[in-house]
Amino acid sequence: MNSYDLEKEISRGKGLFAEIVRVSSDFLERFADLDPPAIREFERKRQTLLETLVVFHAKFKQKFLIEEKGLPLAMTTQLEEFMIFKEVFVQIIMEKNAAIISQATRSRERLRTELAVVGRGKQALRGYNRRKGPALKYLNKTA
């Protein structure tokens, strides 16, 4: 592999990392306004990107694990810079994922609270509606 091929592969990898961060950031910004189909679409897109990244990383690692010892200094430097870039972006992706999980947890708890309020309201309404009629345990005063 020559320097041009390495640069091309590194550029592709950087693009994949940047796209995952972009998609996750966009999702976080719009989280409160998204409906379930949009959330499922995000998950599908994110999963596809992650699978593509895993395949890319495996192929990249396989190519350069074999050739790493005989690479020129310029290519070794490019590889080291890419490894640093990768570490930074993996950290950013993990932070974005943690933020998504946190926001989803808060949203779930809010929905549970709202559902509990609705449940108590329905229960109270049923109790109120049952008491409207005359009680069967007592005699009717007109009888």
Give the model confidence (pLDDT) of 49-60 as tens digits. 999 999 999 988
Describe the crossing of helices 3-30 and 36-67 by its angle, rounded to 10 degrees.
160
Q: Which residues contact 5 (CB under 8 A, 6 or more apart)?
A: none
Q: Which residues contact 27 (CB under 8 A, 6 or more apart)?
A: 34, 42, 46, 100
- What pLDDT is recorded for position 12? 94
Report the mean per-residue pLDDT for the chain.
Answer: 84
Q: Which residues contact 56 (CB under 8 A, 6 or more apart)?
A: 12, 13, 16
Mind listing the pLDDT tens digit for each residue in 67-103?
Answer: 666 778 888 888 889 999 999 999 999 999 999 999 9
Q: Which two tokens stand for residue 45?
A: 């897109």
Give, in order, the Cα–Cα distances in Å from 101 to each of 10, 105, 136: 30, 6, 53
